[in-house]
Structure 1
């Protein structure tokens, strides 16, 4: 990858890793389901009038939206609102890679490789260490909600893979159609109209900034750049950057929110990341990239322009959805 594309990949990592703290800030002023509804209204408008609808059946688009967007983020936001630290959430959510492998085996008949099974075992051990050694500030129900969020995201990965589609910006935008109305209705039932009106009329610039950041920077810009990179480079070049998302998530949470992970959470998180790296073949991919670079300079790739970010990237390569980190 040329240096400017490496810089873009690092920008996406920064946007996605910091996003967990931004959500946590927004939850101080807005109820979780209302915050989520507002986020996806901004994802939809005006992008849905600019981004073409993916060439997929509506049942696939709605299925991806119900899992990747509605289910994943509703559970994540609720978990954060109930006390899950944002840094730890950014780490635990990466379990989706492991769950995707398991669900793919059950639904698509994709038999896991031996190293994937080893990685799954290591990752499960890491989650167990986090769960058993978590600090008293982390409620078990919040941890379980984030794990459920990862499982829902993984289900969306499998739906996307079964459809044979590239998860481009168009799918991100159009699948968002299923989110605002159910989340607004649920917020109305759970929080009540008075709470909603009070939250909307007293929201601060920080609360508004949280909605704008999560919708525009994390969802639209993040996915646009990431999928453009995947369209121009092998997954083995791009995917390893995703391992930095929880690192940024924890670092920003410690710096900005005063999060202090326990020793067990740090150890368990490290074990979890090792398991994900093994299951996802990151070490092998990095070695392949290094060998490729030793063979000599690679051809220059097409530049990433505004048009390439707005449009869906061409499905030039079969990119494993398990390797795609989602935004938070």
Structure 2
């Protein structure tokens, strides 16, 4: 990769890691439903200028509801109900494990021997983290968070069906498709008056966080990452996503004073190590398309 593109890949990973912190701050003002709605409403603004990509509506909706709505709404609820930000950034990265697993079940894409080792290591790390559940957040919150990597993994495989389209246009419309039902959900669950009150009394901090999540973390970062995946083999680009949980955990420690007990820290390191083995392993042509990066 060119040095400039390496810098872009690192920048995107840093943006996605810091997005977890921005989400936690925004949740001090907004409900999980409203925050997720605002994120995708902002990211969908380019739809005013770009045409809908040549993707059937059922496929567009399926990708949006898994890759975006399901992933980020469950993530927002989990963080709002106590799952630490740094831990969340690691758990969500386990999507690589589930993506390979789903590809094997649905498409008979067998992982390589090295990938199988990585899956085993990452699974062990998740089990270690499960041993810490109940101390500072509930089992229910952890279960909700696990929806995020599962949903993202399903979205990865569905995204493969959208061929020969401009990624910027596609992601803008995916955001719009997610924003519409999220808006309805917000009005039903929060009520019109509380929703309006939250919007009209938004602080400067909340406004900046939402711009960062919608405009920078979603629109710009997705676009930059898509360009890298277009210009280089996935094996060169995807490993940069391993920086996301490290940035997210470090930023959470600085901003929120988040600490990790020995078992949880060991589990987090084990998960990231397993993911690294999976992403850096030699992959067959068929399976090399199945692992996509985590975006926060």
TM-score by length of structure 1 reads 0.84
**What is aligned with 1:209?**
208
> SS state of the match for residue 325, structure 1?
coil
Contact 2:79/2:85 (<8 A) preserved? yes
CA positional deviation for 1:165: 5.7
Q: Per-residue CA shift, 1:30-89, capped at 9, x if unaligned?
A: 1110111111111111x1133343232222111110111111111111111111111111
Structure 1: which 4+ aligned runs deviate by more than 6 Å?
none
Gaps of 5+ in 2: none
Checking the alignment, whether the CA contact within 8 Å between 1:160 and 1:166 is kept in structure 2 is no
In structure 2, C-alpha distance between the alignment counterparts of 1:106 and 1:284, rounded to whole Å:
20
Q: Which residue of 2 aligns with 1:87?
A: 86
Map of 1:43 onto structure 2? 43
Q: 1:1-328 to 2 correspondence within 5 Å?
A: 1-45=1-45, 47-134=46-133, 136-164=135-163, 168-280=167-279, 282=280, 320=288, 322-328=290-296
d(CA) in 1 for partners of 2:206, 2:288: 35
Does the CA contact (< 8 Å) of 1:235 and 1:319 recur in 2?
no
- Work out whether residues 21 and 252 of structure 2, in 8 Å CA contact, stay in contact via their aligned partners in 1: yes
| More divergent stretch after superposition (131-140 vs 86-95) | 131-140
Deviations 1:100-125 (A, max 9, x none): 11111122221222222221111111
Q: CA deviation at 1:28?
A: 0.2
Unaligned 5+ runs, structure 1: 286-316
TM-score, with structure 2 as normaliser: 0.93
Q: Distance in 2 between matches of 1:208 and 1:50?
A: 23
Could you report, residue by residue, the CA deviation over 1:253-301 in whole angstroms, capped at 9, with x for unpaired residues?
Answer: 1111111122211100111111112222x1559xxxxxxxxxxxxxxxx
Q: How many equivalent residue pairs?
A: 295
Structure 1's 258 and 16: CA in aligned 2 closer, same or farther, altered over 3 A?
Answer: same
